[in-house]
Amino acid sequence: MGEFIMPDWLKNQDAETIHRRMMARLPPDIDDTEGGFPWDFTKPTALEKAELLQFHLVETLKIMFPEWSYGEYLDLHAKRVALERRAAGYAYAELEIEGIAGTVIPAGFAFAVPSVNSQPAIEFRTMEAAEIAEDGKAAVGVLAVLPGTSGNVPADAIVLMVSPMRGITAIKNPEKASGGTEEESDDSLRARIMEIEQGLDTGFVGCDADYIRWSKEVPGVGTSFVIANWDPAVKNSVKLVVLDSNGEPANDHILELVYNHIMSPEDRLNRKAPIGAILTVVAPTMKGIAYSFSASLVDGYDAATVADSISKAIQEYYIKAKSEGLVQYIHIHAIITQAPGIYDFTRLTMNGGIENIAIALDEYPGTISVDLGIPREVVG
């Protein structure tokens, strides 16, 4: 988004300038000295007019265009092109439950991550009923009760029943919960609006851009890309590769939501994909990259904060890197050079080398670590 530049006709409209013009237009025989009745009566008007011109009118101009609009006004621009802001997504996990064979775990039964210190317990509820099998085990999918990233808990964190149930003896989530995302930001929604407007009359229904746009209408989806005709044995085969809004491979729950949103298998009238298209929705194979260098920091910055800032900037670059099929060493070097808190650095390596890293068709780059060569608790 480009910076909003105030029109020339709105410049020099501060209260002092406006009031001077008002005083200059008084008849010659009227007292215009400060503190006189005309001066005192006109000053509040100048203040109100300046506020109207310099703030309210400027904000009105900004919300008229999606490039500078925000909040509920940006939602209205999205509605104009049949988009909605993505709601916050719910974290998903698969539980392994042990207990007495035949025990039925009903849909909506609550499990939780224990409360720690002042942090409240994080609850999850089963998506469907499950029964413990003869081997004393059951697997069931659970969704966080509250949306957002707080539900993205690590493996083996969901270990409690909110209400005790006879027949259950052990609970665990072997893999971390994922897919919990915050409500879509203005910048993300703005980018999707601009994508649609820039793509008008430049493609056909069911082109790659459509599949990407459709996938991003699903809560929790961040980045996606298309591999057309990926299966030579299947005519019109389309593979949609999806990451969540946290930059991680989308979990099975999100993948199913995307497939159902595009293909609508239960209601063909709402199907978005063209007739004959065979869609497969998958998570990418992540190409893990570890970054290492020796940094000197600006006074007042700590290694943890700087590393997190670099990680976020690299994550944003990955979208471009994927489109080019290459994570460029020189681009990573530039990101680190421009990072807040970096005074100087040497010996940058990516996975131990200084070569560009190729990204295969169904891969997506992911950051394993960012090592500044400084203990993360050291400051300055």
Report residue 32 as tokens.
């215009």
Q: The pTM is what?
A: 0.76
Residues 6+ apart with CB under 8 A from 310: 291, 335, 336, 339, 370
Task: Dump pLDDT digits (tens) for 65-93.
Answer: 999 999 999 999 999 998 999 999 999 99
Distance between CA atoms of 188 and 181, rounded to whole angstroms? 13
Q: Could you give the C-alpha distances from 53 to 25, 40, 63, 358, in angstroms and in order?
A: 20, 21, 15, 53
Model confidence at 193, pLDDT cuts 50, 70, 90, reads very high
Q: Could you give the C-alpha distances from 76 to 68, 133, 189, 258, in angstroms and in order?
A: 13, 51, 11, 24
Does the pLDDT of residue 26 top 90, yes or no?
A: yes
What H or E segment, with its residue span, contains residue 290?
strand 285-297
- The string of DSSP codes covering 171-223 is EE-SS--B--BPPPPHHHHHHHHHHHHHTTTSS-TTSHHHHHHHHTTSTTEEE
Task: Dump pLDDT digits (tens) for 267-283.
Answer: 988 999 998 999 999 99
What H or E segment, with its residue span, contains residue 344?
strand 342-350
Three-class SS of residue 20?
helix
Does the pLDDT of residue 195 top 90, yes or no?
A: no
pLDDT at 268: 85
Task: Dump pLDDT digits (tens) for 116-144.
Answer: 888 899 999 999 999 999 999 999 999 99
Model confidence at 204, pLDDT cuts 50, 70, 90, reads low
pLDDT at 380: 40
Who has greater pLDDT, 379 or 209? 209
Percent of the chain residues topping a pLDDT of 70: 97
294, 300 Cβ separation under 8 angstroms: no
Longest C-alpha distance within the chain, in Å? 104
pLDDT at 201: 56
Model confidence at 255, pLDDT cuts 50, 70, 90, reads very high
Mean pLDDT computed over 337-365: 95
Q: In sequence order, what are the beta bridge partners of 379?
A: 302
Model confidence at 344, pLDDT cuts 50, 70, 90, reads very high
Model confidence at 286, pLDDT cuts 50, 70, 90, reads very high
Residues 6+ apart with CB under 8 A from 346: 293, 294
Question: Residue for token digits 């080398």?
Answer: 353
pLDDT at 376: 52
Q: In sequence order, what are the beta bridge partners of 125?
A: 110, 143
Q: Could you give the C-alpha distances from 95 to 2, 140, 151, 157, 164, in angstroms and in order?
A: 46, 5, 14, 10, 16
Model confidence at 6, pLDDT cuts 50, 70, 90, reads confident
Q: In sequence order, what are the beta bridge partners of 172?
A: 96
Helices assigned H by DSSP within 107-170: none
Does the pLDDT of residue 112 top 80, yes or no?
A: yes
Report residue 296 as tokens.
């000197």
Instruction: Let me know if 96 is exposed, middle or buried by CB neighbors in 10 A (0-12, 13-18, 19+).
Output: middle
Does the pLDDT of residue 377 top 80, yes or no?
A: no
Average pLDDT, the chain: 92
Report residue 102 as tokens.
């035949």
Mean pLDDT computed over 200-226: 85
Distance between CA atoms of 199 and 208, rounded to whole angstroms? 11
Rounded to 5°, the CA angle 35-37-39 comes to 60
| Stated length of the chain | 380
Does the pLDDT of residue 379 top 90, yes or no?
A: no
Does the pLDDT of residue 202 top 70, yes or no?
A: no
Distance between CA atoms of 350 and 333, rounded to whole angstroms? 10
